[in-house]
Chains A and B, each alone.
Chain A
Amino acid sequence: MRVLLRGGVGLVRTESLLSGLGWAGWLAGVSVVVGFTWALSAYVVSDTERANDAVRAGGLLVLGACMVLTIACLLRREWRTGRERAHRRALATVLAAARCCMLLDPPEQTKALRELAPHVSLLAEASETMEKPEREELRRAMAEALRNEQPLIGGRGKRGQLASLAALGWLGTRSTVWELKRNLHGEDLDRAYVAGQALAEHGSRYAYEALLAGLDSTGLPPSRVAALLEGPRFEGAVEVLSRRVLKGRLPQVHRFWIAYLLGNTGSPGALQALERLLADQDVSVRANAAEALGQLPCRTPIERALRDESWVVRCHAARAAGVAGRHDLAPVLVRLLEDREWWVRQNAMIALKVLGPEIREAVLPALTGSDRFARNKAAEILIDFGYARELVERLRVAGPANVERHVRELARAEATDALHDVALTDLTPAQLEGFHELLEMDA
């Protein structure tokens, strides 16, 4: 282990050296620029000798810069390849050591695992190659061994420290939450983000609440924190989120994202909190709550949201009705095809398509409505449900008189193209002629 550690330190130093080489090349280039400015000034004041010296020096510097940069590029490539190889070896070593530790009796095991504490980030990474039960067992044993230890943020350089921080999440001990929370609220955004990820992986109630508090009090964008909150394994999320909504006066950012997160839980337990959020003063919160309702596997008050005064809420509620498969709301959605806002109409149309052919009877009346968009979209939905094919079949079997009114309706809805496309494949030439006559009559 010590050898490994010493090797790591050496590699970090090499990285600095290579970085320095690159900068040396760059600096040489800048020196040429400065030198030539100097040479030009000397030339202008007719100090030819000084100017010549500067030019020669500049030429040499350019050559030097090119050489240094070339060498730096090549060395960097070799160093990177070597480091990756060394890292793979280190992972294998740590993994083997951990497996050996797991074979020991409990007191010995704890002692041995503590020896591995400085390499916990390597261990976390290496354990990803293990089978899930074995990985979980190792994690639990390691957490147990380090239960009373102060969390260790080791590693040289920023990358090393970030890796250690990430490993704290994998470890999942209670003592690490405070450290992660401190980093989440710190000024360093990189550390904050990694701490957030670690809290998300931690999976405990404390970690979840700490991350939730980070929605508005960290430098991280709330959407990133919300994305992290979506994935935790913590099962009591609904309870935590609902309690917050039902209890306290939350800032708008919290209400907004909690509505979103409640939807993602997909748990009926979220209903009460979402109902509260549906009555929120803020339009965005209501919109998110409306959309979240669509993800709950129970009967929800989407209808109320579909009649909201704000078109943004109606828009999201329409989406929700589609996602939730609420066939009973089809007539309301059909009415929304005539909404005064285009985005509501569009979302209502998409929702109706999602609901499927069962709602065909509810859509049919819209074909003869007064609103052109609604007519057209109703036709599109019906054609998607196989209406065109059905009409063509009836035309083929029973003749034009049987479908005349329906074709007329589709023509009024400006949707004869799709009907014609079906007719082209299904009708005989003679039938097709009759069909064209029917269409021309409409035109």
Chain B
Amino acid sequence: MSAIELIYAALMTYFVTLNGGYLVLTAISTRVNLRRSVESGYTQYEVLASSRATVPVSVIIPAYNEQVSVIAAVETALASEHPEFEVILVNDGSTDDTMAIAIERFELEVRDVFHPRPLETKPVRRVYQSRRHPNLWAIDKENGSQADAYNAGVNLARYRYIVQVDSDCVLDREALLRTMRVVNHDPGRIVGIGGQVRPGNGMRLEDGRMVPTGERKPLVVRFQEIEYLGVFLAQRPAWSELNAVPVVAGGYGAWRKDLLIELGGYSTELTHPDIEITQAAHDRLRTEGTPYRVAFAPDAVSYTEVPSSWRDLMRQRKRWQRVVIETVWKYRRMLFSPRHGSAGMLGMPYLLLYEALGPVFEVAAYALTAWLAATGALSVTGMLAFLVVSFGLSMVVRLTGVYADVWHLHRYERGELVKRLALCVLEPITRPVLLPSRLWALAEFVRGQKSWEAMTRIGTPTIETAPTQVAPAGPGLKGSRPAWAPSTDALSVRSRSIRAGAQRTLPGRSARDSSERAGR
């Protein structure tokens, strides 16, 4: 065999192992989904929703220039069916009316809150509490990053479990309950838990639930629906069984507060902190030899607004790709490390070979195939082989994702299901389309660049369509700050001096928190 043939064979092997791996993950996921679906069938959620024995949670929603979507995110979080929870909205120095809209809508009042601040963050300007919803808090802070906003929220959070929700995400009413139900089974070991994120485009919020509007969705959104199903229903449950979840999605996921504090909070080095914190948890706990689990609840659903144009999608994927590469680079010590168990032997190699370096292999394969075909060196059978292993197997993988959804969770109208199945056949072609942006991310990583181009958002329509009065932006609703008032910097200095004093870092306490320590 010539060198070219060997390279070609190697690239084919790459596709075969990639899709073969996905099929194995699908098989494992099917088992998990089946178990969850049986459990969900008999679980009386109303009992859990009214019992104080259910573990309470703090929901953190960071927002930066999210005036379009922040209200829906907070309102659906507040409408959650959970016996005890708090929602913490963190305004990360938005330059639009995000904070003003929230103040107006939720009747937020300034609170002088002195609380432990174990995680360093950018200065907090003010802390608010809602008059209408006493369990809604809001932090107005200087612009840092999404991670910085999460950290500010963690500082204020009262409860042992922190749920992270992106401000463009809408929570299903039972999402918190379904998440905590899984945690309840093994609270001593479960440190993190992911949920299913579904595209919410073309849906509206009606009585706290997402329902389709019936509008025509762009093809790019349709493709992402198929992709998300594959990832969240056919892969993520299997990764959780292997205890090597590569990422607890920022869109919806939960972490134990004490672990977050131990890890020093979400890392502000990366654009997306979700993948980094997941790998940091694996790294720390495997190195220490602490028994732990990062679980996944496929029936805990949140809806996110996905890019609705190819341009936005390419930007998003470029960002995701760069963060994956950065994370793999940061935790390269975990690669093939037996000490890190499945996270080091399976999870991290997967991230490196199929996510971080994936575009390089794929571009090489497409280029080589095209070149060989053009020069007549590739037979029809060889071409067929390439198409089958690269696209054909991807179709099978996507179809298994939809099958899992149809089997266990979702009810589709007949027409909608037919459309989805047809799109599964077309979806694999999006991979080559997104390759340039993913390759560009590699270049950005090499050059040390970091960028976040804003995505065009339209927000989630709600059934009540009363226009929201927008209050003027500023430190308070009732006019500008008077001359006598201390500046925001002075306030933060004061807070820091108190922090350094008598206050200690303690995890949130409640009857349920104590029970986890004592009752098991």
B73 to chain A, nearest CB (A): 26
Residue of A nearest to B503 (CB): A342
- Flag the segment in A33-41, A133-141, A148-156, A174-182 that touches B: A33-41
Complex: A416 Cα to B482 Cα, angstroms: 11
Task: Using known A-B contacts A26-B26, A443-B484, determine if residue A62 contacts B388 with beta carbons closer than 8 Å.
Answer: yes
Complex: A343 Cα to B510 Cα, angstroms: 10
A40-74 vs B, CB cutoff 8 Å, 1 = contact: the mask equals 10011010000110011011001101100110111
A16-40 vs B, CB cutoff 8 Å, 1 = contact: the mask equals 0001001001101110110011011
Residue of B nearest to A442 (CB): B484
Q: How many residues of B are in contact with the other chain, CB < 8 A?
A: 88
Judged by a CB distance under 8 angstroms, whether B4 is at the interface is: no
B37 to chain A, nearest CB (A): 10
B396 close to A66 (CB less than 8 A): yes
A336 to chain B, nearest CB (A): 14
Residue of A nearest to B504 (CB): A342
Complex: A40 Cα to B13 Cα, angstroms: 8
Residue of A73, A158, A343, A379 ringed by the most chain B CB atoms within 10 A: A73
Complex: A429 Cα to B115 Cα, angstroms: 36
Residue of B19, B27, B55, B484 ringed by the most chain A CB atoms within 10 A: B484
Judged by a CB distance under 8 angstroms, whether A380 is at the interface is: yes
Residue of A28, A55, A341, A373 ringed by the most chain B CB atoms within 10 A: A55
Which residues of A lie under 8 Å from residue B509 when comparing CB positions?
A: 312, 315, 343
A69 touches which of B5, B399, B412, B479 (Cβ 8 Å): B399
A316 to chain B, nearest CB (A): 7
Judged by a CB distance under 8 angstroms, whether B353 is at the interface is: no
Task: Using known A-B contacts A44-B1, A230-B53, determine if residue A29 contacts B388 with beta carbons closer than 8 Å.
Answer: no
Complex: A285 Cα to B110 Cα, angstroms: 37
Which residues of B lie under 8 Å from residue A77 when comparing CB positions?
A: 406, 411-412, 414, 417
Complex: A294 Cα to B399 Cα, angstroms: 55
B388 close to A36 (CB less than 8 A): yes
Q: How many residues of A are in contact with the other chain, CB < 8 A?
A: 93
Judged by a CB distance under 8 angstroms, whether B519 is at the interface is: yes
B385 touches which of A58, A221, A443 (Cβ 8 Å): A58
A284 close to B515 (CB less than 8 A): yes
Complex: A70 Cα to B398 Cα, angstroms: 11
B479 touches which of A28, A194, A257, A424 (Cβ 8 Å): A424
Complex: A43 Cα to B379 Cα, angstroms: 13
Which residues of A lie under 8 Å from residue B407 when comparing CB positions?
A: 19, 22, 76
Which residues of B lie under 8 Å from residue A65 when comparing CB positions?
A: 396, 399
Which residues of A lie under 8 Å from residue B514 when comparing CB positions?
A: 284, 287-288, 312, 316
B39 touches which of A28, A59, A190, A230 (Cβ 8 Å): A190
Judged by a CB distance under 8 angstroms, whether A367 is at the interface is: no
A73 touches which of B20, B54, B417, B503 (Cβ 8 Å): B417
B112 close to A376 (CB less than 8 A): yes
Which residues of B lie under 8 Å from residue A252 when comparing CB positions?
A: 518-519
A253 close to B520 (CB less than 8 A): yes
Interface residues of A in 328-378 (CB under 8 A from B): 340-343, 346, 372-373, 376-377
Judged by a CB distance under 8 angstroms, whether B418 is at the interface is: yes
B506 touches which of A22, A39, A342 (Cβ 8 Å): A342
A436 close to B400 (CB less than 8 A): no
A223 close to B184 (CB less than 8 A): yes
Interface residues of B in 241-272 (CB under 8 A from A): none
A288 to chain B, nearest CB (A): 6
Complex: A416 Cα to B506 Cα, angstroms: 29
B53 close to A226 (CB less than 8 A): yes
B403 close to A72 (CB less than 8 A): yes
B388-426 vs A, CB cutoff 8 Å, 1 = contact: the mask equals 110011011101101100110001101001100100110
Residue of B187, B502, B517, B518 ringed by the most chain A CB atoms within 10 A: B518
Which residues of A lie under 8 Å from residue B109 when comparing CB positions?
A: 418
A26 close to B54 (CB less than 8 A): no
Complex: A373 Cα to B519 Cα, angstroms: 33
Task: Using known A-B contacts A29-B23, A29-B393, A73-B417, determine if residue A418 contacts B110 with beta carbons closer than 8 Å.
Answer: yes
Task: Using known A-B contacts A55-B385, A341-B504, determine if residue A284 contacts B519 with beta carbons closer than 8 Å.
Answer: yes
B403 touches which of A32, A69, A257 (Cβ 8 Å): A69
Which residues of B lie under 8 Å from residue A282 when comparing CB positions?
A: 518
Task: Using known A-B contacts A40-B9, A77-B406, A284-B518, determine if residue A58 contacts B396 with beta carbons closer than 8 Å.
Answer: no
B42 close to A70 (CB less than 8 A): no
Which residues of A lie under 8 Å from residue B389 when comparing CB positions?
A: 32, 36, 58
Residue of B nearest to A40 (CB): B9
B511 close to A288 (CB less than 8 A): yes
A36 touches which of B30, B385, B395, B396 (Cβ 8 Å): B385
Interface residues of B in 468-500 (CB under 8 A from A): 476, 478-479, 482-485, 494, 498
Complex: A81 Cα to B42 Cα, angstroms: 20
B20 to chain A, nearest CB (A): 4
Judged by a CB distance under 8 angstroms, whether A80 is at the interface is: yes
Complex: A303 Cα to B79 Cα, angstroms: 36
B324 to chain A, nearest CB (A): 24
Judged by a CB distance under 8 angstroms, whether A439 is at the interface is: yes
Which residues of B lie under 8 Å from residue A224 when comparing CB positions?
A: 53, 184
- Flag the segment in B43-51, B85-93, B200-208, B455-463 that touches A: B43-51
B485 close to A420 (CB less than 8 A): yes
A186 to chain B, nearest CB (A): 15
A409 to chain B, nearest CB (A): 14
Complex: A73 Cα to B400 Cα, angstroms: 9
Residue of A284, A316, A418 ringed by the most chain B CB atoms within 10 A: A284
A316 close to B184 (CB less than 8 A): no
B42 close to A73 (CB less than 8 A): no
Which residues of B lie under 8 Å from residue A63 when comparing CB positions?
A: 392
Complex: A421 Cα to B494 Cα, angstroms: 21
Complex: A59 Cα to B390 Cα, angstroms: 11
Judged by a CB distance under 8 angstroms, whether A302 is at the interface is: no
Complex: A356 Cα to B520 Cα, angstroms: 37
Residue of B nearest to A377 (CB): B114
Residue of A nearest to B46 (CB): A231
Complex: A46 Cα to B23 Cα, angstroms: 29
B27 close to A66 (CB less than 8 A): no
A162 close to B479 (CB less than 8 A): no
Which residues of A lie under 8 Å from residue B397 when comparing CB positions?
A: 29
Task: Using known A-B contacts A59-B392, A162-B41, A284-B519, determine if residue A373 contacts B498 with beta carbons closer than 8 Å.
Answer: yes
Residue of A69, A197, A316, A415 ringed by the most chain B CB atoms within 10 A: A69
A32 close to B484 (CB less than 8 A): no
B135 to chain A, nearest CB (A): 12
Judged by a CB distance under 8 angstroms, whether A170 is at the interface is: no
A380 close to B47 (CB less than 8 A): no
Q: List 17 A-B contacts (CB under 8 A).
A: A28-B396, A33-B19, A33-B20, A36-B388, A37-B16, A52-B381, A56-B384, A65-B399, A166-B42, A221-B185, A223-B519, A224-B184, A256-B515, A284-B519, A341-B504, A373-B502, A417-B112
Binding site for B on A (CB under 8 A): 19, 22, 25-26, 28-30, 32-33, 36-37, 39-40, 43-44, 46, 51-52, 55-56, 58-59, 62-63, 65-66, 69-70, 72-74, 76-78, 80, 158-159, 162, 166, 190, 193-194, 197, 200, 221-224, 226-228, 230-231, 252-253, 256-257, 260, 264, 282-285, 287-288, 291, 312, 315-316, 340-343, 346, 372-373, 376-377, 379-380, 414-418, 420-421, 424-425, 436, 439-440, 443
Other than A221-B184, A418-B110, A443-B484, give 16 A-B pairs with Cβ distance below 8 A.
A22-B407, A32-B396, A33-B393, A36-B16, A39-B385, A43-B5, A58-B389, A162-B41, A226-B51, A227-B51, A285-B518, A288-B515, A372-B501, A414-B112, A436-B482, A440-B483
Binding site for A on B (CB under 8 A): 1, 5, 9, 12-13, 16, 19-20, 23-24, 26-27, 30, 38-39, 41-44, 47-48, 50-55, 109-112, 114-116, 184-187, 379, 381-382, 384-385, 387-389, 392-393, 395-397, 399-400, 402-403, 406-407, 411-412, 414, 417-418, 421, 424-425, 476, 478-479, 482-485, 494, 498, 501-504, 506, 509, 511-512, 514-515, 517-520
The 4 closest A-B pairs by CB, nearest first: A284-B518, A227-B51, A62-B392, A33-B20
